[in-house]
Amino acid sequence: MIVVNADGAVMGRLATVLAKRLLEGETIVVINAENAIITGEKGVIENRFYDKRERGDRIKGPFYPRYPDMILKRVVRGMLPYKQSRGETALKRLKVFMGDPDNLKEKAVKINAKTIEDIESKYITIGDLSKSLGAKPRWE
Q: Checking DSSP bridges between strand 94-96 and strand 28-31, what pairing results, if any?
A: parallel
Tally the domains of the chain: 1
Q: Is residue 140 part of a domain?
A: no
The reply to whether 138 falls in a domain is no
pLDDT value of residue 103: 83
Give the CATH number, domain containing residue 11: 3.90.1180.10
Condensed to tens digits (0 to 9), the pLDDT of residues 43-85 reads 999 999 999 888 888 888 888 899 999 999 999 999 999 999 9
Which residue range is the domain that position 21 belongs to?
A: 2-133
Give backbone dihedrals phi and psi of 111, rounded to 5 degrees, phi first: -90, 140
Q: Is residue 19 part of a domain?
A: yes
60 part of a folded domain = yes
pTM confidence score: 0.90
In a domain, 139, yes or no: no
pLDDT in tens, 26-40: 999 999 999 999 999
pLDDT in tens, 77-111: 999 999 999 999 999 999 999 988 888 888 888 78
Does residue 75 fall inside a structural domain? Answer: yes
Assign 119 a pLDDT band (cuts: 50, 70, 90): confident
